[in-house]
Amino acid sequence: MADIIKTATRDAYGKALVELGDKNNKVVVLDADLAAATKTGMFKKAHPEKFFDCGIAEGNMMGVAAGLAASGYTVFASTFAMFAAGRAYEQVRNSIAYPHLNVKIGATHAGISVGEDGASHQCCEDIALMRAIPGMTIINPADDIETRAAVLAAADYEGPVYMRFGRLAVPRIFDESYKFEWGKAVVLNEGTDVTICATGLMVGEAIEAKKILAEQGVSAEIINVHTIKPLDAETILASAAKTGAIVTAEEHNIIGGLGSAVAEAVCEGGKPVPVVRLGVNDVFGKSGPAVELLHIYGLDAQNIVEKAKQAISMK
């Protein structure tokens, strides 16, 4: 059996930026004194003339990004999710989204898997914040292959994009033939008993949960929701009509994230089914090893299995 390849999506982000810089003179990258952690340092080394460190001043960085975008550049502004969505929220809303500028926000170190940095840096509210901003697109890739494809697609998209990346290395799900479709959810495995909609690092856990469920005679359909806004409601509703129950899995507060988006889509679709949300249960994180924290907060395959059984029992 081949070894499982594990890569942090932040690493894939840095490599994709270098690739963009090699072929697009209009791409510039900004960072807020975290280039080593966000991996934009790769771009800095390859294209120093197109890289700008704005220091520990995230709001100012978003303002600079807006100005560069208004001047015709495609701007990637990077920092931790806590600072990109939290500290700089006003500038993202008013200076970038309101005029619908071509700024791509590379938010790394999202969620509980930041690990030892603890609650102050474990941003589990960023998707909710960005979802509420009109015109903002939200991408949360599942592995390194999808990250590269999403970053390249974001560069060609006109308008603001919030891209969510993680610190923890995650298993590779896709191969080099993978094609990223803007705003289109990906049905990874078909099933008949329950639909599992997962995003980010929880996609890998959902795949493992499907295997466990199969051993127990339960057929699960797995959907990778890489674009949370706009949500591919059509694909999700079609799956829900077939299975009759949904579980959502995300490394984010259960309020305002993927679970909320899916529940809204199902209710508005006219044929509601049970929706069981798995995520951080509206609490702050704590300091500790990332993998252990994911288990503590129930962000793992076994908990998806339990939630799937719960959803099925509610039909």
pLDDT tens, residue by residue, 181-214: 999 999 999 999 999 999 999 999 999 999 999 9
Q: Which residues are catalytic?
A: 58
CA-to-CA distance for 34 and 55, rounded, in angstroms? 8
Assess whether 162 and 13 both reside in one domain.
yes
Question: What distance, in Å, lies between the first and last C-alpha atoms of the chain?
Answer: 39
Give the 3-state secondary structure of residue 155: helix
Query: Strand 103-108 relative to strand 161-164: parallel, antiparallel, unpaired?
Result: parallel
Assess whether 107 and 231 both reside in one domain.
no
Both structure tokens of 295 = 């288990």
C-beta of residue 20 within 8 angstroms of C-beta of residue 155: yes
Residues 227-285: tens digit of each pLDDT:
999 999 999 999 999 999 999 999 999 999 999 999 999 999 988 999 999 999 999 99
* pLDDT score recorded for residue 100: 98
Assess whether 20 and 151 both reside in one domain.
yes
Residues 100-122: tens digit of each pLDDT:
999 999 999 999 999 999 999 99
| Total tally of structural domains belonging to the chain | 2
Determine, yes or no, domain membership for 178.
no
Residue at token pair 């700008």? 52
Assess whether 146 and 201 both reside in one domain.
no
C-beta of residue 278 within 8 angstroms of C-beta of residue 298: yes
Give the residue from 171, 205, 239 where a domain finishes: 171
Residues 69-93: tens digit of each pLDDT:
999 999 999 999 999 999 999 999 9
- Residue 3 scores a pLDDT above 80: no
Which CATH number covers residue 88? 3.40.50.970
Determine, yes or no, domain membership for 177.
no
pTM assigned to the model:
0.96
Q: Locate all alpha helices (DSSP H) within 184-280, ordered by sequence.
A: 202-215, 233-243, 258-268
Structural domain of 55: 6-171
Which CATH number covers residue 252? 3.40.50.920
Please give the average per-residue pLDDT across 139-159, as a whole number: 97
Please give the average per-residue pLDDT across 130-150, as a whole number: 98
Assess whether 157 and 203 both reside in one domain.
no
